[in-house]
Structure 1
Amino acid sequence: MTVFSSSSSTPAALAAAAWVVVLLAVLRSDVAQASSDDAVLWPTMPPPSPPPPVGVPAPVLLRKLLRPAGGDVAVGGGGGGGVRPHRVEDGCAGADDIAIDQAHASPLPSGVPAYTVDIINRCTGSGGGTGEECAIANIHVRCGWFSSVSMVDPLVFRRVGRDDCLVNDGKPLQAGETISFEYSNSFPYQLTVVDATCVASTSPAP
């Protein structure tokens, strides 16, 4: 009867068993590390907010409407002039009460275009007043390098500087008064009021 000895196979079996134990320990460590990494990278998210109750409108963000500074709206005149709105409820408003109306006129015999200009004091007083507080003087107009082929009375309208013309020699226009002139050039000038001063009326008492 043949007997097999296990003395030669025992060390190999023990070594294999030892390696199995080591591998199991390494795998268990990797699984534990992966679990901890997932806990760091994927934190628990808070639950979503519940929807608003049925029948309750969603909040609305209100926006404040702002008016343009000054409130002036230029309206083109016949030759490029502008007309400012009149603010009767505020009494004399200085430059805001001066309107400029410009239109084409008959050209010169040489064919040079001509333009008529009316400068109007539209102030009539506040609250139905007599207009005595509506005289406006020192009216300055933005006019570029104003010039004219035909003569313009310098006491009515003249250039006193670059882009600066003086109306009525600086004297006041009374409430409702209009001062007019005509000039000739190959193109119309854009005339807009930039400055004017409310003064006491100089009209004679009735």
Structure 2
Amino acid sequence: MARLHTHPSAAVVVVVTMLLLQACSEASASSSQRLPLHQMRKMLSVNAPSMSSSGGGGHSVEPLELEECSQDLLEVSQINAPSMAGGIPAYSVSITNTCTDCLVCDVHIACGDFASNDVIDPAKFRRLGFNDCLVNDGRSIDPSFPVSFHYGNSFPYPMTVASASCACN
């Protein structure tokens, strides 16, 4: 029987590679866990790092630059909601203009391959294309009136503000 001779450093490379793959797998599994009902996720929009979209088939989300006036003006909150019929998990999303004396409009959310088992009013939130969802039909969001909706899916979609405008009519 032939005997293979391998260099000791080749074995180290294989072990290190396997450890890295295991760490990535564990990180991926922990990030896909559902949130406890009492825990709220608060996702601020400014300079969000690239992330892999849940359900996006490996597409990546690239953050867009927001206009200077809209930096830190929008907040996206997402919490677990009571399950839908058939036990489908549900989520409640609220998009809030945190500026007390200004309007923000033409708000686009990075939403991956967003889909819902529940019908969402398209005037509040609708998917235009991969990773592009429009809020409030592009109209302005007043400071004291957040845009809220519920959706149902087997997992929550990561949502961050991709772009917005302060030049509202």
Range into which the TM-score falls when normalised by the shorter chain: 0.5 to 0.7
Give the 3 Å change call, closer, same or farther, for CA 84–142 of structure 1 in structure 2.
closer
1:172 aligns with 2:133: no
Gaps of 5+ in 2: 1-34, 47-67
Provide the identity percentage.
Answer: 39
2:112 matched residue in structure 1: 144
SS at match of 1:110: helix
1:117 aligns with 2:93: yes
Which of residues 121, 131, 147 is equivalent to 1:163?
A: 131
**How far apart are residue 93 of structure 1 and its match?**
2.7
User: Partners in 1 of 2:84 and 2:107 — Cα distance?
Assistant: 29
- Summarize deviations over 1:8-55 as a string: whole Å, max 9, x none: xxxxxxxxxxxxxxxxxxxxxxxxxxxxxxxxxxxxxxxxxxxxxxxx
1:97 aligns with 2:65: no
- The amino acid that maps onto 1:199 is A
> Are 2:45 and 2:162, in contact at CA under 8 Å, matched by a contact in 1?
no
User: Partners in 1 of 2:123 and 2:69 — Cα distance?
Assistant: 24
- The amino acid that maps onto 1:187 is F
**How far apart are residue 96 of structure 1 and its match?**
2.5
For this pair of structures, how many residues does the alignment match? 112
**How far apart are residue 147 of structure 1 and its match?**
0.5
- The amino acid that maps onto 1:113 is P
1:43 matched residue in structure 2: none
1:82 aligns with 2:43: yes
Give the RMSD, CA atoms, in angstroms: 2.4
> Are 2:45 and 2:160, in contact at CA under 8 Å, matched by a contact in 1?
no
User: Partners in 2 of 1:95 and 1:185 — Cα distance?
Assistant: 30
2:157 matched residue in structure 1: 189
User: Partners in 2 of 1:190 and 1:157 — Cα distance?
Assistant: 15
Q: Which is strand-richer, 1 or 2?
A: 2
Which structure would you say has the larger RCO, counting Cα contacts within 8 Å and 6 or more residues apart? Answer: 2
